[in-house]
Structure 1
Amino acid sequence: MPIIHHRAPLKCLVAVRGHPFDRTAFDAMFQAMDGITATMVDQPAAARLMNPEGMRGFDALVLYDMPGLDFEAPENAPLYLEPDEALKSGFRALLEQGTGVVALHHALAGWPTWGEYHEWLGGQFHYHPGTSRGQRVTDSGYCHDVTHSIDVVADHPVTAGLPASFTLTDELYLGQVYGDSVTPLLRSSATFTRDHFWSAENAVRGEMYSREGWDHPPGSNLVGWTKQALGSRLVYLQPGDGPSAYDSPDYRRLVENAIRWVA
């Protein structure tokens, strides 16, 4: 009688919190993935697991979190918070040992003062004017509910089974993309210029949908990439704001492929 080998499911730790999201719809996306189990852990508890010991038994880390920002601060919210040394050394050790990472959407805004973190991710979303790779930059832009087509620009395991182009309605960012250090996977048909986005700093000051006094240079249309982060494979996917993305079979395939590839 033949022996049937059942592969153990891939286990991923999914770090969440810091940005509002539809938890039920987000979780449903992972529940639909065959052979993958996802354990959702809220920040700040998730940060305590982002080291080789804490991730023992997990095959991959998914970042859907936005730590290091205090939106309740009485002035200049969000206040930028420093990651502690234990997190920084633990996260570096995790990458050095080759634990794969999939970062989604607003993860690009997390830990705003930790430059190395953003080098590993491949870019940064800024809530306030600041620095990026030693250069002064203005705050980033956002725009909700943009219907755009996404072109697959690489034949890669992360894009396997996807059509050459697919459509999503989602939030887009106009921020910093370190295009020289990433392998492009996905490009958007949207126009990444100031006139199509709103200022993040104006929004946190209570002026939603404003670009008053804000001038951002044209940005990259790259919305998905891979890169080597020390010893680890890392994938960043800019889409993923809400159920319109989570429920898309193309987005689900992307996230699932990404988890399998980094693991």
Structure 2
Amino acid sequence: MLIRYDAKVRLLVVTKGHPYDRTAFCALFDSLNGISWTHVEQPAAAQLIACGGGQDHDLILFYDVPGIQFRTPNPPDLIEPDEGFKAGFRALLTSGKPLLFLHHAIAGWPLWDEYAEAIGARFFYQPGCYKGRAYPDSGYLFPVTYRAEPVGAHPVTRGLEDGFELTDELYLFEMLEEVVPLLRARADFDPARFHSARNALAARMWTSDGWTPPRGTDLIGWAKVSGRSPTVTLQCGNDGATFAHPAFRKLLRNALDWLLSPAAREWAAGAPAQV
């Protein structure tokens, strides 16, 4: 892949912490015309953000799971980000940097509530707390075929008004903050269909014994103002088939284009700060 110094948009893509189809993932971003993307893995990405390097890019996409040291079949170690990263991330929000969180990035930094607040949700690999309230571990279900349906009219879902069918992974979790809904999954979110993330980390995949979570949200896409930053979160994005899906590619491109738009910046700048 050539370095495009003349590209109109500079995108920073952050990964590591969860397995993924690297070839298909890179092909997705290589297909984005007019965008030069730089791939940085954790923990180098956290160091880059800590020293202000994220400001050199027009927007940042997170597809990482930082702050968790998996030790299956033992419980994972949970790591809080250092003060340098916290300051750098807060600076991104204060400056209004557009951010996109994709799929398992919702599980990032489980000990830092400000990160989940910026996203609006958290996937709990272990039972945990958010702002003093206890939550059970979250659930997962894959592969599952469902229909993704836009909520109202929004530039992120433009051209996808009739919805589209996707075979991907669904999460079972609760929203933690108020968000602007963009996309819902027409699927049954009965907890009995899902499997416990905690059990999976104990080397008991596809089980749910001892797990009694509440019914989860059907939202799989939303926007939020975080600080002065417009953000979009897309819960879909588990595997190579999704990365190659024409509707998902359009959804992702729409999200990137909208986050970079004057309308998104004005929306974020005019809304009350939430982080």
Structures share a fold, TM > 0.5?
yes
Match of 1:234 in 2: 231
Could you tell which deviates more after superposition, 57-66 or 159-168? Answer: 159-168
Match of 2:202 in 1: 205
For 2:10 and 2:18, how far apart are their aligned partners in 1?
24
Find 2:253's aligned residue among 240, 253, 256. Answer: 256
- Does 1:28 find its partner at 2:47? no
Match of 2:267 in 1: none
Deviation at 1:57, TM superposition (A): 2.9
Deviation at 1:72, TM superposition (A): 3.3
Q: Is the 8 A contact 2:73 2:203 kept in 1?
A: no
For 1:227 and 1:27, how far apart are their aligned partners in 2?
26
Structure 2 residue identity aligned to 1:124:
R
- Scaled by the length of structure 1, the TM-score of the pair is 0.93
Which structure shows the bigger proportion of residues in helix conformation? 2
Q: Alpha-carbon deviations, 1:129-182, whole Å to 9, x = none?
A: 11133211110000111100010113111111224210100011001213x510
For 2:160 and 2:50, how far apart are their aligned partners in 1?
33
Q: Is the 8 A contact 1:100 1:234 kept in 2?
A: yes
For 1:79 and 1:113, how far apart are their aligned partners in 2?
11
Counterpart of 2:39 in 1: which secondary structure?
strand
Match of 1:215 in 2: 212
Q: Is the 8 A contact 2:50 2:86 kept in 1?
A: no
When the two chains are superposed, the root-mean-square deviation of aligned CA atoms in Å is 1.5
Counterpart of 1:55 in 2: which secondary structure?
helix
- Scaled by the length of structure 2, the TM-score of the pair is 0.89
For 2:100 and 2:82, how far apart are their aligned partners in 1?
22
Q: Is the 8 A contact 1:127 1:139 kept in 2?
A: yes
Counterpart of 1:123 in 2: which secondary structure?
coil
For 1:156 and 1:133, how far apart are their aligned partners in 2?
30
Match of 1:116 in 2: 114
- Does 1:244 find its partner at 2:241? yes
Q: Is the 8 A contact 1:51 1:94 kept in 2?
A: no
**Aligned 1:134-173 pairs, distance under 5 A:** 134-173=132-171
Match of 2:182 in 1: 185
Structure 2 residue identity aligned to 1:162:
L
For 1:51 and 1:154, how far apart are their aligned partners in 2?
37
- Does 1:11 find its partner at 2:10? yes
Q: Is the 8 A contact 2:55 2:97 kept in 1?
A: no
Counterpart of 1:37 in 2: which secondary structure?
strand
For 2:222 and 2:250, how far apart are their aligned partners in 1?
15
For 1:80 and 1:19, how far apart are their aligned partners in 2?
15
Counterpart of 1:168 in 2: which secondary structure?
strand
Structure 2 residue identity aligned to 1:234:
T
For 2:49 and 2:106, how far apart are their aligned partners in 1?
17
Counterpart of 1:95 in 2: which secondary structure?
helix
Aligned residues: 255
Deviation at 1:51, TM superposition (A): 4.9
